[in-house]
């Protein structure tokens, strides 16, 4: 066959399944031998544009429970797609084992190669090796869990009515961003285990009851109210920032199935937690990997010049970063900055300047590009990655500058620093903070419950930089929270000095348990 | 590695989510549908449409912060140096406002399919006084053809099918044709060689024997027509669409009338499965036409409304017995009628048509720029006014522009409580 004799993987734009197989094998070859990637086994699925839209609306997952909000997103995406305002992604990749990549059937052979290199190797390696994903997600089990979730939600709808399930899910979705454990190593509380322990204690106390001990004098008693607060907080595991977790375990009037629904939403939120923190790194890795693989394929004569130009064209589109005054500007493009940083690291490792040696003594001139990059991909997230590896030369190249917007400053917005000697560190710190999940999400905790009184739930929002919660949305979310909790909820916004800035009180609409 | 082809998987996995969304947003979407339908061509409307609903109510709230001190790193510095102050609202200083998420702030746009759109639009419409006449009537039994069967009475023998099957069997089993045997027999007559004669004779015998073994028609070939009892729906209705296509009707007016009927047509074919529709167009004479001709066929001439009413009456008499059918009629006209015809029209209506119809809607179309209220009533309008004053079930509306069609239609067929089929 012509293809084989000339060494090209394919001719022109057409492809079939054997082409895909050949492309995958060639990419795998380069990924393993040249880049030293370590990936989950791949599963490549060819889908239509409509299926891509379907996948969009369920955050890319192949199966998901039913909820109107997904329909809303679907309708929204579809409207844009139909009008031609927005193209579809070339691929979607799922952090699972085997790693599933969706390929659109409309893609040309070159695009399929690009997508396979990007998703099936770049993202795949990142999913398997990055510490956040290792820590928080279970790639083996996610599809089974989603399938369970889907069936369970369907079962609940049948058993308890669609409206009741929808109400619970609505509320859970509103709290989803505050339904993740941010730190590992929390002590595992599980309800049955807890109950068992309490039962055993009670049995023991009953068995070894002796009236004599009641008369033994004890030390100066803590005041009962102090004791109460302490015991209550210990019992309820307060303060607690995982709102969904707290409700699941402690909301007094929820049914078991409602708790299970909260748990499902919480687990899914937790699964996506690392993805939000690694956008730049994840896309940077994948883009860097596809760039290397495609170049390698071209150099070894497996891709023709014409097809390589086609690749370069889409690659350039993907890594395009409009400047801030460009109408197309919509924040930093994670592909652009990620890819630029990876390339910059490659430059530092192989041909460092004096400046780089001063800034990055560990890696400058280390020689082993892939070793350094693999280490970075494994051990950083966006925030730490930017604050460690954004180099002055890249800041100069992208002409970054830092604005400080203080509402109390009437003269306007101050240009705090620019890409010069004085500004490098400040720009880097500020950009890293933009990617810090801790400064993106408001810090909200449940601090107390008035168990003896009206069971009011008390939350604190620790205000940073004077940014209060958006009033309307906060009330809506609190309404959902109150409906689940079934009693009043109060949110206090407190700044770092402990001054109370604002207070929201919400009364539950309906008692969730009665639904 | 596996490659899975998902393209053949059942599509529209999101359909259910979408339906849930629509159900939830129903009231909002319905409003939007009505608004968007007003200034759209009906054809476009029926293609489905993009509607936009306020985000409120469909909003998914999240905790998020606003205000406060903000730090921002941007690419593409050209002239700023440290310490510059940029005026806050100045466009020139180029602070991008709200990057990225501008599209869904106050309203939410999406596309409805044709079915969804029509469903929502027609949701609270109903054919007036449906089934009043023959509500009590039980479903009728009837029979209809339902394929073939292998047993049955000789009267139902399906000859064509039987012969076809027999032929297939004969061809398959290689039954010798009569012609083949006849050929051999003529050859036998001409043949002089004794040996050859014997051979031919033997062959003829063999063929004849085979032909006897393989019958021309075998019992397994025989098929009978199968009939099956069915129930005919009882609440049957017929809708007469009458339209003036005479010379006095301009293109614009025809267009309005056509729109009204198209809407009506969609409404009827959608809401009631057993509704017959009769299209009658008239000039100074009337004719029953098919849908295509009704909407698109060219015609011109004078105007005699009575001709259409007569035609309708004749059709009712011959095909739709008022005892069995609920009869509805909708007439569209520019209001012109020859004076001599008024009396006949009035008599036909009040004596022949109205007594048998449940509902008679009259739509008067006029030029787009004409002042409806200023102009004197047309001859038909004043005639019908008179009839209505006598309590005839007659609804009338005037329409002069496209945007009014939907509201008028909606108004006429709005689902009503109680007895008020006569709308002022």
Report the C-alpha gap between A284 and B419 in whole angstroms.
71
Read off the pLDDT of each residue in A456-467 and give the average, rounded to a whole number: 86
A297 plus A387 within the same structural domain: no
A302/A334 same-domain check: no
For residue B84, the chain A residue with the least C-alpha distance is: A415
Distance from CA of B30 to the nearest CA of A (A): 16
Pick from A54-63, A139-148, A301-310, A378-387: least confident: A54-63
Contact B111 A45 (CB under 8 A): no
**Which tokens go with A282?**
């994840």
pLDDT of residue B97: 40
Report the pLDDT averaged over residues A309-326: 88
Contact residues on chain B for A474, CB-CB shorter than 8 A: 61, 63
> Which of B1, B58, B100 is the closest to A41 by Cβ?
B1
Cβ–Cβ of B96/A325 closer than 8 Å?
A: yes
Q: Which of A377-391, B276-290, B306-320, B344-358 has the highest mean pLDDT?
A: A377-391
Q: What is the mean pLDDT of residues B385-394?
A: 76
> What contacts 24+ positions apart, CB below 8 Å, involve B80-83?
B80/A401, B80/A415, B80/A418, B81/A415, B81/A418, B82/A415, B82/A416, B82/A417, B82/A418, B82/A420, B82/A422, B82/A423, B83/A414, B83/A415
Question: Are A8 and A95 contained in the same domain?
Answer: yes
Inter-chain residue contact B64 with A54, CB threshold 8 Å: no
In a domain, A293, yes or no: yes
Higher pLDDT, B31 or B151: B151
Domain that holds residue A411: 319-439
Q: Provide the percentage of residues in chain A whose pLDDT is more than 90.
A: 21
Is pLDDT of B371 > 60? Answer: no
Give the model's confidence band at B134: pLDDT under 50 very low, under 70 low, under 90 confident, else very high: very low
DSSP state of A47: E
H or E segment and range at residue A100: strand A99-104
User: Can you give the pLDDT at residue A345?
Assistant: 93
Task: Let me know whether A305 and A335 are in one domain.
Answer: no
Q: Is residue A463 part of a domain?
A: no
A83: its two tokens:
């009008």
Instruction: Dump pLDDT digits (tens) for B23-82.
Output: 777 777 777 776 666 555 544 555 556 677 766 556 788 888 887 788 888 888 888 888
Specify the pLDDT at position B191. Answer: 81
Cβ pair B100:A330 closer than 8 A: yes
Number of domains comprising chain A = 2
Sign of CA dihedral A50, A52, A56, A58: positive
User: Domain for residue A462, yes or no?
Assistant: no
Burial of residue A439, with CB atoms counted within 10 A of its CB: 0-12 exposed, 13-18 middle, 19 or more buried: middle
Average pLDDT, chain A: 84
* Residues B64, A470: C-beta atoms closer than 8 Å: yes
On whether residue A339 sits in a domain, the answer given is: yes
pLDDT over 90 for what percent of chain B? 5
**Residues near A242 by Cβ (< 8 Å), separated by ≥ 6?**
A178, A179, A180, A181, A182, A266
Dihedral of alpha carbons A404, A408, A413, A418, sign:
negative
B372 secondary structure, DSSP code: T
* Strand locations in B78-236 (E): 85-86, 107-112, 140-149, 224-232
Q: Which range among A487-491, B80-84, B125-129 shows the weakest confidence by mean pLDDT?
A: B125-129
Give B-chain residues touching A67 at CB under 8 angstroms: 17, 20
Burial class (CB in 10 A: 0-12, 13-18, 19+), A293: buried
CB pairs under 8 A between A and B: 258
| Residue at which a domain ends, from A383, A413, A439 | A439
User: Where does the pLDDT of residue A286 fall: very low under 50, low under 70, confident under 90, or very high at 90 and above?
Assistant: very high
What pLDDT was estimated at residue A4?
A: 47
* Cα–Cα dist A222/B285, whole Å: 105
- What does the pLDDT read at residue B45? 52
Q: Which of A418, A409, A489, A501 is closest to A455 using CA atoms?
A: A489
Alpha-carbon gap, residue A287 to A339, rounded angstroms? 6
Share of chain B above pLDDT 70, in %: 72
Mutation site, B71, B80, B101, B103, interface A, largest A CB count within 10 A: B71
pLDDT for position A125:
93
Give the confidence band of A1 by pLDDT, cuts at 50, 70, 90. very low
Nearest to A44 among B3, B60, B66 (CB): B3
Give the residue-averaged pLDDT of A427-448.
87
A417:B72 CB<8 A: no
Lowest mean pLDDT among A120-129, B36-45, B295-304: B36-45
Contact assignment for A75 to B67 by CB distance below 8 Å: no
- As given in the structure block, the two tokens for residue B45 are 């409307």
Instruction: Look at B63 and A74 and tell me if their CB atoms are within 8 Å.
Output: no
Give pLDDT, residue A121: 92
B53, B103 Cβ separation under 8 angstroms: no
Chain B positions touching A395 (Cβ under 8 A) are: none
Per-residue pLDDT for A436 more than 90? no
**Do B99 and A329 lie within an 8 Å CB cutoff?**
yes
Candidate from A65-74, A247-256, B69-78, B171-180 with smallest mean pLDDT: A65-74
CA distances from residue A345 to A220, A360, A371, B351 in whole angstroms, order as listed: 64, 10, 11, 95
Domain boundary among A311, A329, A363: A311
Q: How far apart are CA A102 and CA A59, in angstroms?
A: 13
Best to test chain B binding among A68, A99, A179 (most B CBs inside 10 Å):
A68
Nearest chain B residue to A98 by CA distance is B1
Q: Does B67 contact A323 at a Cβ distance shorter than 8 Å?
A: no
A413, A299: one domain: no
Q: A397 and A305, same structural domain?
A: no
Nearest to B7 among A105, A401, A411 (CB): A105
CB contact under 8 A, B85 and A430: no
Q: Which of A265-269, A500-504, B121-125 has the lowest mean pLDDT?
A: B121-125
- Confidence grade of residue B163 (pLDDT, cut at 50, 70, 90): very high
Other C-beta atoms closer than 10 Å to the C-beta of B105 total 9
My answer on whether A36 and A125 are in the same domain is yes
Q: State whether A298 and A332 are in the same domain.
A: no
Q: Does residue A185 surpass a pLDDT of 70?
A: no
Partner residue facing A477 (CB), from B50, B62, B109: B62
Residue A343 is predicted with a pLDDT of 93
Residue A378's pLDDT is 92
Residue of chain A minimizing CA distance to B97: A330
Residue A90 covered by a domain = yes
B3: preceding bond cis by omega (within 30 degrees): no
Region of poorest pLDDT, from A206-210, A220-224, A395-399, B406-410: A220-224
Asked if the structure places residue A213 within a domain, the reply is: no
Q: Specify the DSSP element, H or E, that contains B416.
A: none
CA distance B255 to chain A (A): 29
Q: What is the pLDDT of residue A342?
A: 93
**Cα A290 from Cα A308, distance rounded (Å):** 12
Query: Which pair of structure tokens corresponds to residue B123?
Result: 């949701």
Distance from CA of B76 to the nearest CA of A (A): 5
- A7 shares its domain with A117: yes
Q: H or E element: which one contains B404?
A: helix B402-412
Smallest Cβ–Cβ distance between A467 and the set B68, B82, B99 belongs to: B68
Indicate the residue of B6, B81, B103 with minimum beta-carbon distance to A418: B81
Residues A303 and A333 in one domain: no
Residue A94: both structure tokens together: 């799922």
Do residues A484 and A490 touch, judged by C-beta distance below 8 A? Answer: no
Q: Is A227 exposed, middle or buried (CB count within 10 Å of its CB: 0-12, 13-18, 19+)?
A: exposed
Residue where a domain terminates, one of A412, A439, A466:
A439
pLDDT at residue B178, as a whole number: 87
pLDDT at B95: 42
To test the contact with chain A by mutation, choose from B65, B101, B111 the residue with the greatest count of A C-beta atoms within 10 A, namely: B65
What distance in Å separates the CA atoms of residue A510 and residue A90, rounded to the nearest whole number? 45
Q: What is the pLDDT of residue A219?
A: 67
Using alpha carbons, select from B380, B395, B321 the residue that is nearest to residue B348.
Answer: B380
Q: Are residues A293 and A386 in the same domain?
A: no
Are A407 and A293 in the same domain? no
Interface test with A, best of B55, B63, B96 (most A CBs within 10 A): B63
Q: What confidence category does residue B271 fall into, taking pLDDT thresholds of 50, 70 and 90?
A: low
Q: How confident is the model at residue A189 (pLDDT cuts 50, 70, 90)?
A: low
The verdict on a CB contact (< 8 Å) between A403 and B67 is no
For the cut 80, the answer to whether the pLDDT of residue A433 exceeds it is yes
A30 assigned to some structural domain: yes
Question: Which range in A206-210, A324-328, B203-207 is most confidently predicted, on average pLDDT?
Answer: B203-207
Q: DSSP secondary structure string, A446-515? A: EEEE-TTTT--EEEEEEESTT-EEPHHHHHHHHHHHHHHH-S-EEEEEEETT--EEEEEEE--SS-GGG-
Do A75 and B21 count as a contact with CB atoms less than 8 A apart? yes
User: Do residue B71 and residue A58 have CB atoms under 8 angstroms apart?
Assistant: no
Q: What is the pLDDT of residues A66-88, one digit of tens each?
A: 888 887 777 777 776 766 655 66
Give B252→chain A minimum CA distance, Å. Answer: 31
Alpha carbon distance A515, A255 (integer Å): 10
The token duo for A243 is 């709102």
């Amino acid at each position: 066959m012509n293809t084989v004799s000339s060494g090209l993987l394919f001719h022109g734009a057409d492809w079939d399944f054997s082409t895909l197989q050949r492309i995958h094998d060639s990419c795998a070859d380069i990924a393993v031998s040249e880049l030293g990637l370590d990936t989950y086994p791949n599963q490549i699925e060819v889908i239509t544009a409509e299926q891509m839209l379907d996948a969009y609306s369920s955050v890319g997952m192949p199966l998901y429970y039913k909820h109107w909000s997904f329909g809303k997103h679907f309708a929204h995406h579809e409207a844009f797609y139909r009008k031609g305002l927005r193209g579809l992604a070339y691929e979607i990749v799922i952090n699972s084992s085997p790693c599933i990549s969706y390929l659109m059937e409309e893609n040309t052979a070159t695009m399929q190669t690009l997508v396979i290199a990007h998703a099936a190797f770049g993202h795949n390696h990142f999913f398997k090796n990055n510490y956040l994903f290792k820590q928080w997600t279970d790639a083996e089990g996610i599809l089974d869990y989603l399938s369970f979730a889907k069936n369970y939600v369907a079962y609940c709808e049948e058993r308890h009515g669609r409206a009741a399930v929808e109400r619970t899910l609505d509320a859970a979705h509103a709290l989803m961003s505050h339904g993740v454990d941010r730190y590992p190593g929390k002590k595992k509380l599980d309800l049955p285990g807890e109950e068992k322990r309490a039962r055993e204690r009670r049995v023991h106390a009953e068995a070894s009851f002796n009236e004599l001990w009641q008369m033994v004098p004890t030390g100066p008693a803590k005041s009962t109210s102090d004791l109460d607060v302490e015991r209550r907080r210990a019992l309820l595991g307060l303060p607690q920032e995982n709102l969904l977790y707290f409700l699941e375990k402690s909301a007094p009037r929820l049914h078991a199935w409602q708790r299970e629904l909260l748990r499902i939403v919480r687990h899914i939120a937790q699964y996506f937690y690392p993805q939000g923190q690694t956008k730049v790194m994840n896309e940077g890795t994948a883009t860097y990997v596809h760039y290397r693989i495609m170049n390698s394929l071209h150099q070894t004569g497996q891709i023709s010049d014409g097809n390589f130009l086609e690749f370069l064209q889409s690659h350039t589109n993907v890594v395009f970063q409009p400047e801030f005054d460009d109408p197309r500007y919509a924040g930093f493009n994670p592909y652009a900055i990620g890819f630029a940083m990876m390339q910059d690291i490659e430059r530092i490792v192989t041909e460092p300047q004096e400046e780089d040696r001063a800034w990055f003594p560990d890696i400058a001139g280390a020689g082993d590009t892939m070793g350094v990059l693999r280490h970075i991909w494994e051990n950083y997230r966006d925030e730490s990655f930017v604050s460690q590896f954004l180099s002055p030369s890249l800041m100069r190249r992208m002409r970054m500058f830092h604005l400080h917007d203080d509402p109390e400053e009437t003269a306007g917005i101050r240009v705090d620093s620019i890409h010069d000697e004085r500004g490098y560190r400040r720009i880097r710190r500020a950009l890293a903070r933009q990617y810090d999940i801790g400064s993106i999400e408001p810090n909200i905790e449940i601090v107390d419950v008035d168990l003896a009184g009206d069971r009011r739930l008390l939350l604190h929002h620790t205000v940073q930089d004077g940014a209060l919660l958006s009033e309307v949305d906060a009330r809506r979310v609190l309404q959902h929270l109150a409906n689940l909790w079934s009693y009043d909820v109060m949110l206090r916004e407190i700044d770092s000095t402990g001054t109370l800035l604002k207070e929201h009180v919400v009364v539950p609409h309906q008692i969730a348990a009665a639904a | 590695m596996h490659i899975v082809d998902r393209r053949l998987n059942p599509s529209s996995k999101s359909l259910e989510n979408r339906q849930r969304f629509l159900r939830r947003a129903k009231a909002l979407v319905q409003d939007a549908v009505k608004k968007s339908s007003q200034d759209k061509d009906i054809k476009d409307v029926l293609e489905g449409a993009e509607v936009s609903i306020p985000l409120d109510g469909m909003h998914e709230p999240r905790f998020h912060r606003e205000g406060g001190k903000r730090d921002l790193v941007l690419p593409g510095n050209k002239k700023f140096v440290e310490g510059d102050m940029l005026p806050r609202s100045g466009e020139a200083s180029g602070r991008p406002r709200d990057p990225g998420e501008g599209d869904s702030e106050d309203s939410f746009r999406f596309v409805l399919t044709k079915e969804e759109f029509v469903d929502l639009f027609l949701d609270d419409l109903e054919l007036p006084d449906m089934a009043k006449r023959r509500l009590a009537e039980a479903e009728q039994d009837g029979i209809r053809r339902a394929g073939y069967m292998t047993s049955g009475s000789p009267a139902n023998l399906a000859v064509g099918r039987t012969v076809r099957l027999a032929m297939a069997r004969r061809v398959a089993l290689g039954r010798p044709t009569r012609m083949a045997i006849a050929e051999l027999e003529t050859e036998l007559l001409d043949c002089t060689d004794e040996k050859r004669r014997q051979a031919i004779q033997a062959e003829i015998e063999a063929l004849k024997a085979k032909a006897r073994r393989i019958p021309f028609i075998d019992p397994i070939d025989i098929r009978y027509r199968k009939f099956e009892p069915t129930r005919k729906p009882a609440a049957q209705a017929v809708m007469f669409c009458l339209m003036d296509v005479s010379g006095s009707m301009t293109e614009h007016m025809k267009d309005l009338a056509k729109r009204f009927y198209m809407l009506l047509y969609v409404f009827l074919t959608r809401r009631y499965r057993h509704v017959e529709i009769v299209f009658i167009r008239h000039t100074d004479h009337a004719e029953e036409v098919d849908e295509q001709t009704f909407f698109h066929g060219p015609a011109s001439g004078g105007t005699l409304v009575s001709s259409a009413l007569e035609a309708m009456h004749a059709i009712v008499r011959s095909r739709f017995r008022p005892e069995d059918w609920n009869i509805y009629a909708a007439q569209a006209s520019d209001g012109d009628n020859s004076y001599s015809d008024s009396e006949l029209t009035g008599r036909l209506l009040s004596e022949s048509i109205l007594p048998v119809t449940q509902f008679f809607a009259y739509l008067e179309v006029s030029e787009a720029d004409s002042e409806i209220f200023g102009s004197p009533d047309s001859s038909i309008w004043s005639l019908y006014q008179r009839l209505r004053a006598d309590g005839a079930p007659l609804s009338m509306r005037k329409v002069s522009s496209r945007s009014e069609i939907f509201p008028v239609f909606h108004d006429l067929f709005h689902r009503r409580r109680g007895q008020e089929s006569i709308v002022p």
